[in-house]
Amino acid sequence: MNHEPHHGIHRADDHRPYDPGMPPGGWQQAPPYTYGPPPQPPAPTRRYNPFGMLALAAFTVAVAVLTAFGATALHEQSAAPTQSQAVAPVQRVDNTVDGTTSAALQRAAQAVVPGMVYINTELGYENGAGAGTGIVLSSTGEVLTNNHVISGATSITATDLGNGRTYPATVVGYDRKSDVAVVKLTGATGLTTAPLGDSNAVKVGDAIVGVGNAGGGGGNPTAAPGRVTNLDQSITASDESSGSAEQLTGLIQIAANIQPGDSGGPMVNSSGKVVGMNTAASQGYRLGGQNTGGGEGFAIPIARARAVAGQITSGSRSATVHIGDSAMLGVTASDGPGGAGAVVQQVLDNGAAAQVLSAGDTITSLNGTPIGSVTALTETIDTLYPGNSVPITWVDQNGQQQSATVTLAKGAAA
């Protein structure tokens, strides 16, 4: 099988990247978040956002700015169905895939709708909002989604498509490297769970349909029919505005029109079983009635996503799984030259580092862990929690080594 990284692929969420180095008032339409190698030249830099995570997951949209692909602004959401209404019908599937009729794919897509949620996030540190999809794992409101759907969220709500109710949600935990997260809907009971299938049985050529909140605007769920084109694929996730990059592996590649907002939603086989979680899509999307090409997507096999979710819900921390609240150092940063630490670009007012760090300082160690890059800083923060007092070492703008102890604050999700 082909394991080469794929190029020109976007996250299938409906967020926008934010450049933390913009001057005050400098909001602008940022370039799309893509899968593929960072652009060359110039040499890419990585940025560390104010709430303790790699910009890989920092998808934001400025208030009153349209989404990157021409949909309406994310805060202009369609009204959710009331509890008395029937489950919203999935939008009509128009084509036949490898002998599987459109009617069969329509039924398959509709079968999973009661076990789905629409996820909406407020990104308070960036003055933005985001939207995605989730898969209901338990009747009491444990929901599987992508880490990048909830990344940076200061507030999360989820609308259950089975009963039409909207719930506040909290992050149970996440695994950034697997792009998997679990959120819990507060006060939820009696939810319909998604029908999960066997992703190990998926074969190249299988007919599938991706279901989700395409465009992030709410309303009836959309269906993207297609077929499996490859298995066990690796892709590089990169942010064109910052150059940050990370690899995702073991993915199912599909020829289907997965769109922004579909992230975290189910990829369904022709029997109506969830065999994957939509995670990435090609640069072309069909929004607002306009076909801009594309039609390539990637999904995390549901067996793998479910295993990570099980570790999260059991409270089992690991080198990659973070349980509960995220810690916040309160800086933006970029990679230092030649692995020479993480260079501070901005310091968040009243953040944990505000009393000791300044723009231009280079962080070289945190909590005793050497810091050679923004990625190392992110991974170290992921092992820590709000309230932890940790030593930090840096080289100031005069080339002098400094050290202090900082108490980490509570940050945004993931």
Confidence of residue 245 (pLDDT cuts 50, 70, 90): low
Q: How confident is the model at residue 414 (pLDDT cuts 50, 70, 90)?
A: low
- pLDDT for residue 27: 24
* CA atoms within a 13 Å half-sphere pointing along the CA-CB vector of 215: 20
Residues 337 and 233 in one domain: no
Q: What is the mean pLDDT of residues 368-377?
A: 91
The stretch 103-120 carries a mean pLDDT of 94
Task: Quote the CA–CA distance of 401 and 395 in Å, as a whole number.
Answer: 4
Q: Coil, strand, or helix at residue 323? A: strand
Residue 197 is part of which domain span? 1-323
* Segment 344-357, tens digit of pLDDT: 998 988 888 999 99
pLDDT of residue 86: 56
Q: Which residues pair with 118 in a beta bridge?
A: 133, 159
What phi and psi, each to the nearest 5 degrees, are found at residue 311? Answer: -65, -40
CATH number at residue 354: 2.30.42.10
Examine the domain organization and report whether 221 and 360 are in the same domain.
no
Beta bridge partners of 181: 145, 174
Q: Are 166 and 306 part of one and the same domain?
A: yes
| 196 has a pLDDT exceeding 60 | yes
109 band by pLDDT with thresholds 50, 70 and 90: very high
Is the model more confident about 38 or about 384? 384
**pLDDT tens-digit map of 271-308:** 999 999 999 876 543 333 333 334 789 999 999 999 99
Residue type at 140?
A: T
- CA–CA distance, 118 with 78 (Å, rounded to integer): 11
Peptide bond connecting 42 to the previous residue in cis, omega within 30 degrees of 0? yes
- Say whether pLDDT at 232 is over 70: yes
Domain boundary (305, 323, 341) is at 323
User: Do residue 214 and residue 89 come from a single domain?
Assistant: yes
Identify the domain boundary among 307, 323, 339: 323
Q: Ranked by mean pLDDT, which of 5-9, 19-23, 216-220, 321-325 comes out on top?
A: 321-325
Domain co-membership, 286 together with 143: yes
Q: What tokens appear for 34 in the block?
A: 């893509």
pLDDT: is 149 or 47 the higher one? 149
* Beta-sheet pairing, 342-347 with 331-335: antiparallel
Amino acid at 264: G
Contact 105, 209 (CB under 8 A): yes
CA distance 145 to 413: 13
Looking at the fold, whether 139 and 277 belong to one and the same domain comes out as yes
The span from the first CA to the last CA of the chain, in angstroms, equals 32
Residues 178, 111 share a domain: yes
For residue 260, pLDDT beyond 90? no
Distance CA 303, CA 301 (A): 5
When pLDDT is averaged across residues 373-392 and rounded to a whole number, the result is 91
Q: What is the pLDDT of residue 11?
A: 53
pLDDT at residue 413 tops 80 = no
Say whether 243 sits in a helix, a strand or coil.
coil
User: Which of 63-67, 312-316, 351-355 tops mean pLDDT?
Assistant: 312-316
Q: Has residue 20 got a pLDDT over 70?
A: no
Q: Do 71 and 287 meet the contact criterion of CB atoms below 8 Å apart?
A: yes
Paired with 322 in beta bridges are 174
Whole-model pTM over 0.75: yes
- The pLDDT, as a whole number, for residue 282 is 67
Domain count, the chain: 2
Query: In this structure, what CATH number is given to the domain that contains residue 274?
Result: 2.40.10.120
Residues of the chain above pLDDT 70, percent: 73
**How many angstroms separate the CA atoms of 297 and 412, rounded?**
28
Do 210 and 279 lie in one domain? The reply is yes
Residue 109 shares a structural domain with residue 234: yes
- No. of H helices and E strands in the chain? 4, 26
pLDDT score of 26: 26
Percentage with pLDDT > 90 across the chain = 52
Which has the closest alpha carbon to 61: 121, 146, 1?
121
Residues identified as active-site: 148, 179, 263
- The domain boundary residue, chosen from 301, 323, 345: 323
Say if residue 274 is in the same domain as residue 182: yes
Residues 317 and 382 in one domain: no
Are 123 and 153 in contact, with CB atoms under 8 Å apart?
yes
Instruction: Kindly tell me if the per-residue pLDDT of 330 is higher than 80.
Output: yes
CA distance 374 to 337: 11
Specify the DSSP element, H or E, that contains 278.
Answer: strand 274-282
**Chain mean pLDDT for the chain:** 77
Q: What is the pLDDT of residue 12?
A: 53
- 15/262 Cα distance (integer angstroms): 11
CA distance 106 to 362: 55
**Do 309 and 340 lie in a common domain?**
no
**Confidence at residue 10, expressed as pLDDT on a 0 to 100 scale:** 46
